[in-house]
């Protein structure tokens, strides 16, 4: 029994000591990052060495971190929320937890890539594309619109990820452009073609490379990342016609929490993400589109300026419950 008591005491001391290390010093900020360490870790290290500001990062799933922020409310230790999609930023902003960003920061990116109320700003762009098996298909074989994939010729050849946030943002865009009924129609058409489901974009690219499916609905950079790791010369990206919902360009972005105790440092962080160095980093390391004018985009894809964006305000992509409802009622999601 005494041994047990000793163990308890040691446990508590150790835990409190280690726990104390977790709390931030004054010259430090806490970032909740829905973008993985593999993607943005090196960039954050650069920020730390350039500014001397210590950054504590909590990496996680973008949507789960949004749920965490919503539960924490005003007690959140986070200063910055760095998210993978506009919808999650919108959900946190809608609860009044994000502060108004300075105009100088907002104006670095085009209107269409930031919140109209100025509560978050896009830091990099991600285009929806169709990734395809170039050994089996020529570009001319592929439809110009996402509707084309409801043709029976595509039966058993499509890969998609209905649980993925980027896909759901696309469905919301489709609803906005063509109405709910058309969106249901499109989903039914694709479901009739018996698509293979994957849990995220990266496995879809892998599945196209492995020949499980011929085409997949993904974001443009997953292929570029996979090519860096594995080569994959016979897989390619297909960009749909500019006015099509399938050509949606979503953003990763950041917002500053109103609860932040270091708002100045937090602003410097967001400013850094919009700086030339970071924007070039996104182009060369994560293969996303830089959103600040004058920075070249990633190689191997058409430049952002040449891509037409369907006529949608990204902040309108916030009707997530409506999209979820349609996806569930059409049997696409559990």
Partner 1 sequence: MALARATIARRPARPGMPPARLLLPALAIAGLASLPVVYLILRALEVDRASLDLVLRARTLEILVSSAALGLAVGVGAIALGLPLAWLTARTDLPGRRLWTVLTAVPLAIPSYVMAFALVAAFGPRGALSQALLALGLPALPSLYGFAGAVLVLTLATYPYVLLGVRAALLHTDPAIEEAGRALGDRRRTVFWRITLPLLLPAIAAGALLAVLYALSDFGAVSILQFDSFARAIYVQYRASFDRSLAAVLALMLIAVTFIVAWAESRVRRRALPLAPTSRRPARPVHLRHWRWPALAFCAVVVGLALVVPLATIGYWLVRGMAQGEPFRVLAPAAGNSLLAGSLTALTVALFVLPIVFLVVRYPGRVSGWIERVLYSAYAVPGIVLALAVVVFVLGAVPLLYQTLLVLTLAYAIRFLPQAIGPARTSLVQVSPRLIEAARTLGQSEAGAFRSITLPLLRPGLIAGAALVFLTTVKELPITLLVAPTGFDTLATAIWGAATEGFYARAAAPALLLMLLAGATVGLLFHGEEQHR
Tell me which residues in 192-221 interact with partner 1 (CB under 8 A): 196-203, 205-206, 210-212
Nearest Cα neighbor of 320 from 306, 333, 311, 302 is 333
Tokens of 15: 């835990």
Q: For strand 215-219 and strand 235-238, is the pairing parallel, antiparallel, or unpaired?
A: unpaired
Give residues 19-48 in contact with partner 1 (rule: CB under 8 A). 19-24, 30, 36-39
Apex CA 239: angle with CA 193 and CA 140, to 5°? 70
Choice from 43, 51, 56, 307 touching partner 1 (CB under 8 A)? 56
CA–CA separation, 235 vs 215, rounded Å?
Answer: 10
Task: Choose, by CB under 8 A, the member of 83, 91, 190, 215 that binds partner 1.
Answer: 91
Cβ closest to partner 1, residue 109 vs residue 176:
176
The CB-of-203 to partner 1 minimum distance in angstroms stands at: 7
Min CB(276)–partner 1 separation in Å: 24
Does residue 131 belong to the site contacting partner 1 (CB under 8 A)? no
Task: Report if residue 261 touches partner 1, rule: CB under 8 A.
Answer: no
**Range 154-183, binding partner 1 (CB under 8 A):** 163, 165, 168
Closer to partner 1 by Cβ: residue 64 or 243: 64
CB of 278 to partner 1, least distance (A): 18
Cβ at position 175, least distance to partner 1 in Å: 14
- The residues, ordered by sequence, that sit 6+ positions from 286 with a Cβ below 8 Å of its Cβ are 39, 40, 124, 221, 225
Rounded CA-CA distance 195/149 in Å is: 10
Which residues in 288-307 are b (16+ Cβ under 10 Å) and which e? Answer: bbbbbeebebbeebeebeeb
Q: Scan for tokens 């920075």, then name that residue.
A: 295
Q: Please list every residue from 60 through 89 that binds partner 1, using CB under 8 A.
A: 60-61, 63-68, 70-72, 75, 77, 88
Q: Helix 201-210 vs helix 221-230: angle between axes, to the nearest 10 degrees?
A: 60
CB of 37 to partner 1, least distance (A): 5
Q: Within 13 Å, how many C-alpha atoms sit on residue 262's CB side?
A: 21
Which CB atom, from 110 or from 324, has the smaller least distance to partner 1?
324
d(CA 176, CA 292): 27
Q: Does 230 bind partner 1 (CB under 8 A)?
A: yes
* Least distance to partner 1, CB of residue 216, Å: 12
Shortest Å distance, C-beta 103 to partner 1: 28
261 three-class SS? coil
The CA dihedral of 144, 149, 152, 158, to the nearest 10 degrees, is 130
- Applying CB under 8 A, among 50, 179, 194, 228 the residue interacting with partner 1 is 228
- Under rule CB under 8 A, which residues in 294-333 are in contact with partner 1? 320-321, 323-325, 327-328, 331, 333
Q: Which two tokens stand for residue 77?
A: 């230790």
**36 vs 258, beta carbon nearer partner 1:** 36
Q: How far is the CB of 36 from partner 1 (least distance, A)?
A: 4
In sequence order, what are the beta bridge partners of 158?
215
What is the SS3 assignment for 79?
coil
Which one of residues 1, 25, 138, 305 is an interface residue with partner 1 (CB under 8 A)?
1
């Amino acid at each position: 029994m005494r041994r047990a008591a000793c163990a308890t005491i040691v446990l508590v001391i150790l835990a409190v000591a280690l726990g104390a290390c977790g709390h931030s010093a004054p010259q430090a900020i806490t970032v909740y990052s829905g973008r993985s360490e593999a993607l943005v870790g090196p960039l954050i290290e650069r920020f730390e060495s350039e500014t001397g500001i210590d950054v504590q990062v909590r990496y996680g799933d973008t949507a789960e971190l949004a749920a965490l922020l919503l539960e924490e409310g005003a007690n959140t230790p986070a200063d910055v929320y760095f998210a993978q999609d506009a919808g999650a930023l919108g959900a946190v902003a809608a609860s009044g937890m994000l502060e108004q960003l300075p105009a100088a920061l907002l104006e670095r990116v085009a209107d269409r890539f930031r919140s109209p109320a100025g509560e978050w700003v896009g830091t990099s762009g991600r285009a929806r594309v169709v990734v395809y098996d170039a050994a089996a298909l020529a570009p001319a074989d592929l439809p110009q619109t996402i509707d084309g994939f409801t043709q029976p010729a595509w039966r058993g050849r499509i890969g998609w990820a209905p649980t993925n946030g980027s896909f759901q943002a696309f469905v919301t865009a489709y609803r906005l452009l063509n109405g709910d009924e058309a969106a249901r129609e499109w989903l039914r058409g694709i479901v009739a073609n018996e698509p293979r489901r994957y849990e995220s974009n990266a496995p879809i690219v892998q599945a196209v490379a492995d020949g499980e499916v011929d085409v997949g609905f993904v974001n443009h950079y997953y292929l570029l990342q996979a090519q860096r790791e594995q080569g994959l010369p016979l897989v390619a990206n297909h960009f749909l016609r500019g006015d099509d919902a399938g050509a949606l360009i979503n953003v990763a972005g950041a917002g500053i929490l109103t609860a932040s105790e270091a708002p100045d440092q937090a602003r410097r962080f967001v400013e850094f993400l919009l700086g030339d160095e970071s924007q070039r980093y996104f182009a060369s390391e994560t293969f996303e589109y830089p959103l600040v004018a004058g920075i070249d985009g990633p190689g191997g894809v058409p430049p952002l300026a040449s891509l037409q964006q369907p006529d949608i305000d990204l902040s309108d992509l916030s009707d997530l419950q409506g999209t979820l409802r349609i996806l569930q009622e059409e049997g696409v999601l559990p």
